[in-house]
Homo-oligomer: A and B are copies of this chain.
């Protein structure tokens, strides 16, 4: 008999897949097992969906309670300590209290229009305050690792100096909320064979076995896309204004005009659709100075980085909604494509249906170990990029402040000396006076060079770090699959060791299906990790080279200026 539960608090569905329930309502549970604190249930009308586990109490008969308790003991008695622990990790609801469930509701309310996007609010001003989540400056996802210790992945990139701390955008916050783990990975539902959808051949995605393990099959038609001409536009007789960018993809050579809110909408679609792919975060929204040249330039650079990561990704670059975004110029077609994307069924768990894997299944233990290694890696990378960002930020501030000031003070002192010397009007003195004065100008110019330099070599480093901080914030969700794998392995072992298969409690086909689906998730996850390493090496190499080239040019410019000053003494 299916288990029942009584609702103890009202709950209003905020996302697809959730079920709105009222206090005292009786629900039927599809499974007793909660998934990250959520229970799949159906109500008396037959509507099915997720309800927070802590909003309900499970109803059991005395007999059931007894058998549950009695069975519980011997059922896991043969499991080795490690396996048991792992299983516990999966089967026990996470230790989250009511606060954790209620607090994010406000967040969801704010994010609503991203998820329930409609043509009606499409024309809102792109920086309408309703799109900005009320989040603290530090946006982060807390990841609980298997050892029980936690680390914080933080996307907060501190503004230089004392500038106002920009509010983090909803975009950054969205996939870090309470629903993210489920919504993004969709892993559990898929593993349990609950994901169903029709997959056309064109939607098929291949993971292939490369030199370093599973890889996304490369896009056979690679392209890139430039972002130019940020232009200020107005509407409603100048009441509203916004910036549009000209996007020119290399594969069509046909420019399209897009606003930040279009990027934002696209991001929401991608984040929803791809559970094991790290969708690059958009550059932060910023409430102030949006029409200032600096801000526009900074946002454009951020969008260029973002676009680069999009077009570099074998899966993201090919997907329909992104192609629609890059190529559609007709307004009607745009709205059709938009509606189609919002109704896409191959999102979340269903996305996994589109993946085909190499013939030989992976060794799950190896997969787990790789993912463990990657988790350690991301933690270290997160720490070191945070540190580098803070250092570089401070270094830029010092160069623009103290360094500039020191060189200019020296320059002014040389100037003052030359002015004092000019009081001696003898001819043999005038050459020196002029040369010292020129040296003073030189030092003032060098001070100015120091002021200008960070925008050429340190800002790009910070842009890169911001992008990777975004990826690092995504990865706890991406590698969530590890939990699924652990639980599955433990479960399978238990079943097999106790001959549960033979006893009919779990048939072989079901066990094989779970293994197959776990293999798909594993392949996709490892492919995504591999892709991350590839672009990381590519990006950091390019950025370090760029940084050093700029630094060399900078010091050469200083040297040239000093040489010019030195020459003035030749005839002095």
Contacts and interface: CB of A to CB of B under 8 A. Distances in A.
Contacts of A107: none
A328 interface: no
Interface string A525-544: 00000000110110011001
B555 A555 contact: yes
B392 A410 contact: yes
| Interface class of chain A by DSSP | helix
A413 B384 contact: yes
Contacts of A439: 544, 548
Nearest to A423: B377
Nearest to A388: B413
A391 B447 CA distance: 14
A212 interface: yes
Contacts of A551: 562
B545 A552 contact: no
Interface string A395-429: 10011001100100110111011011101101011
A394 interface: yes
A373 interface: yes
Nearest to A563: B552
Given A423-B376, A556-B559, A417 B388 contact: yes
A528 to B, nearest CB: 14
Interface in A367-403: 373, 376-377, 380-381, 383-385, 387-388, 391-392, 394-395, 398-399, 402-403
29 contacts: A212-B426, A380-B423, A381-B417, A381-B421, A384-B413, A384-B419, A387-B413, A388-B414, A388-B416, A388-B417, A391-B409, A391-B413, A392-B410, A398-B406, A417-B540, A421-B536, A428-B537, A432-B537, A436-B540, A436-B544, A439-B548, A541-B569, A548-B565, A549-B566, A551-B562, A552-B563, A555-B558, A555-B562, A556-B559
A19 interface: no
Contacts of A536: 421
A435 interface: yes
A572 interface: yes
Contacts of A565: 548
B562 A552 contact: yes
A450 to B, nearest CB: 10
B566 A559 contact: no
Contacts of A423: 373, 376-377, 380
A287 B385 CA distance: 49
Contacts of A562: 548, 551-552, 555
B420 A384 contact: yes
Nearest to A439: B544
A343 B196 CA distance: 117
B377 A537 contact: no
A409 B398 CA distance: 12
A377 B569 contact: no
Contacts of A426: 212, 533
Given A394-B409, A541-B572, A384 B416 contact: yes
B380 A420 contact: yes
A559 B555 contact: yes
A466 B387 CA distance: 43
